[in-house]
Amino acid sequence: MNAAALQAEFARFMRLRRDLTKNEDARRFADEHLGGNERLSPVEQLEIYREQFFLRHTESLVEDFPGLGGILGQAAWDELVWAYLAEVPPTSHDLSELGAGLPAFIAARPGLEHRELLVDMATLEYSHVAVFGAPDRPKLDPQKLASVPEDAWERARLLTDPGLRVHRSRYPVIALRRRLVAARDGDATAPSEPVPLPAAEPEPRHFAVHRRERLIYHDELERGAFALLQAVMDGAPLGAACETAATRAETSVEALGAQLGRWFQEWAARGYVIDVIVTQ
Amino acid sequence: MTAPRLGLPDLGVGVGLRVPHYRRLFAERPPLDFVEIISENFMGVGGRPRYHLGRALETYRVVQHGVALGIGGPEAPPREYVARLRELATITKTPWVSDHFCWCGAGGAHLHDLLPLPFTRELVRTVADRARAVEDALGVPFALENTSSYLTYKGSVLAEWEFIGEIAERADIGLLFDVNNVFVTAYNHGLDPVEFVRRVPHERIVQIHLAGHSNLGTHIIDTHDGQVIDPVWDLYRLTIEHAGPVSTLVEWDDKLPELEVLLAEAERAKMERQRALEARARSGSTLDAAQLEAIRDAARARPGAVTPGDGGWHQGGPRDAAAASTAEGDEGTGEAAE
């Protein structure tokens, strides 16, 4: 077996969920290729690496998803995360991308209690990770804004800050996350009893997660503003974005248009919009 | 003839730049010869990690050390990854970039570990070719570090010091020599750590790493979570006596102590280094035959001789994570990550 084939087989064993010392394939592989010594058999040596694979990645996910862990509790968290790591292997050198697939994994996983709440929380928490390391971009140049001809706005595209994500959540996950993190950190003001779950009745919210300088903000959004921002972030020119947003927000283009000036001012002030691109 | 340290500068003694020390380090700015960053923690194109890197660069010389290149893996390191390393190096102005003699994944999976390589001729050629290509792409000197390992391969045909020495020679790159890893590997595989230190190509050592570890009796895990043990300090002096003055880093990645404890460990490194350099200047040694034998004896496994550990380890250090360091912000809806 050449090095590449050996490594491929080794890597496969790293992601098996159960102790390799009880796995006949792993034992055979280890006996054939690994040395072992008088203290550890070959498969016990291999098991050191498999165990560390799960410990290291679990620890990273614990850091990134404290609210999700707080909802699930230790046993269910372990179950979910170990299944995730076994089924969705990390592919990036960047550990901060490890949880990128977790919201979708939760959404598709059968038998989970409070699934919608879990998806909302995982989505919020991964947004924190994403905006935290997003590139810094210069703010919108007011002169460039002033130079856009009146009749060009309909086909103009708004370029948004890479440190911006918009969400529609079904549960008040921002407040819940604060409570769970405070409880985890032993904050004296945190409730002493476990946070009751489901934490709240469904309470749909629209909000932006946005990094401004070194702060991460949760900004409440009106439904129409959320729909429009979402369409703009999908790359639609402003005119088409308004139509899409009006449909999604179940309102008229005219009603949406009436709010546009106010929203745009707010977005520019917060730094959501960093450029306006007008194509001929 | 190869120049000592491949002609690269001796920076003195430094410490790893780690998130829990940011507040005090940037407020107090204690004198440090250099700080080492984990490249992958700063390879994003912006955000808070780059902000903190900028703060470090205001005061300190920064050296880049990576944990994800996987130079001995089934595929060559991705060009895009190397390009990002290069981009970071233009910002840090690091005198060299380093990573490990290891592999990190296969079949598209990145396992985020420094997995051991079989010491074969095939991999000497592969790793050397790739190392030369990486150095060319980076545009700065490149070095590879010997890793700790917890297993050996039946297919290995070279001793570890032969393997890393041959690759370094063939690729004409530097060695980042981790003295603690020599001890850990010697303990885990019954090697002679003194022989290991004596047999590597000393003129290629451009940097040294020192760290603590966790002894589980049956094996040692390279946890970077405590002080350097005395036999490793002895091996360090032996290395300096052979290699001369080499930039030395104290690694501490888990169970991080207060900053002054880390700085005291760096001070100890300076003292041990000075002792070794003085002995070298008079063509002597700080270690007699009995002391060398004591190092070998310490590296002989004794199941039952256990130092506490939590079983996990952080080769490469904790990353600058969003959620771990999030605190309530100064505005009602903001959360600061400081």
Helical (H) or strand (E) element with A225: helix A223-233
Residue B186, chain A, CB below 8 Å: the answer is no
pTM across the whole model = 0.90
- pLDDT the model gives residue B182: 98
> pLDDT tens digit string along B141-197?
999 999 999 999 999 999 999 999 999 999 999 999 999 999 999 999 999 999 999
Closest approach of B92 to chain A, Cα-based (Å)? 17
> Residue A269 corresponds to which tokens in the numbers above?
């002030």
Q: Where are the beta strands (DSSP E) in chain B?
A: 13-16, 34-38, 62-65, 97-100, 103-106, 109-115, 142-145, 174-178, 205-211, 214-215, 220-221, 247-251, 326-328, 334-337
Residue A188, chain B, CB below 8 Å: the answer is no
Which candidate, B94, B92, B112, places its Cα nearest to that of B104? B112
- pLDDT the model gives residue B47: 79
User: Is the peptide bond between A198 and the residue preceding it cis, with omega within 30 degrees of 0?
Assistant: yes
Shortest CA distance from A40: residue in chain B: B218
Q: Which of B118, B321, B333 sits opposite A218 (nearest CB)?
A: B333
Flag residues of chain A having pLDDT under 70.
Answer: 187-201, 280
Residue A7, chain B, CB below 8 Å: the answer is yes
Residues 211-240 of B with CB under 8 A from A: 217-219, 221
- pLDDT the model gives residue A179: 87
- pLDDT the model gives residue B336: 44
Tell me what the pLDDT averaged over chain B comes to: 91
Give chain A positions within 8 Å (CB) of B99. Answer: none
A216–B81 CB contact, under 8 Å:
no
A35–B189 CB contact, under 8 Å:
yes
Residue with tokens 């994570």: B321
Residue A31, chain B, CB below 8 Å: the answer is no
ipTM of the complex: 0.90
- pLDDT the model gives residue A197: 59
Residue B82, chain A, CB below 8 Å: the answer is no
**Best mutation target, A9, A31, A91, A93, to test chain B (most B CBs within 10 A):** A93
